[in-house]
Amino acid sequence: MSGFTKRRRTLVFIISLSLMFGFAPGVGTRRARAQFGSYSVTDLGSLGGVQSKARAINNAGRVVGQSSPASNVGSLPFAWNAGSMSNIESFTGGNTGDALAVNEFGYAAGSAETSAGTVHPYVWSDIFGKRDIGTLGGDFAVAFDLNEAVQVVGQSEIRALVDRGFVWSP
């Protein structure tokens, strides 16, 4: 309990669901307090299968992630907006994929399996569809994040067991 009573320390965590924990600065003993605002939890559904995972959300409420299809074989990246889940799809011939990031313009980034069995990063939008970013020479690469300029960062094999970070710009 001594960690809660130390002087001149302020710690505040704010979570986007209006849930706040903190310590008030000042003298004497401080007590932890919690405030719960109004919030809701929404079931995003799935692409017909038994599971889905939300990976990222932008300020407009667009969510991206991964869902099993109706066959429950593999997994597909999805984009969810205003109550509707859209299949971003794997590359032709691939069975798996994931969406890990979404920017404020609704562009998503992630990785998907190709028909050759390799995994490539991609950038996707409703308007332009999916674009294969490629690898740095190896068989595996993944996009972890992207910014509003649609620059993508990730990790790529350059050859077996040797990986490098990358930045991709359109």
Average model confidence (pLDDT) across the chain: 84
- What pLDDT, in 10s, does the model give residues 109-161? 999 999 999 999 999 999 999 999 999 999 999 999 999 999 999 999 999 99
3-state secondary structure 42-66: CCCCCEEEEEEEEEEECCCCCEEEE
> 34: pLDDT confidence band, cut at 50, 70 and 90?
low
Is the separation of the CB atoms in 68 and 49 below 8 Å? yes
Q: Is the pLDDT of residue 14 over 50?
A: no
Alpha-carbon torsion, ordered 92, 46, 155, 113, to 10 deg: -20
User: DSSP assignment, residue 105?
Assistant: T
> Please, is 117 exposed, middle or buried when counting C-beta atoms within 10 Å of its C-beta (0-12, 13-18, 19+)?
exposed
* DSSP string of 128-144, one letter each residue: TEEEE---SSSSBEEEE
Q: Which of 54, 47, 56, 105 is nearest to 75 (CA)?
A: 47
Q: Is the pLDDT of residue 15 over 70?
A: no
pTM, two decimals, is: 0.76
Distance CA 126, CA 105 (A): 10
- What pLDDT, in 10s, does the model give residues 91-110? 878 889 999 999 999 999 99
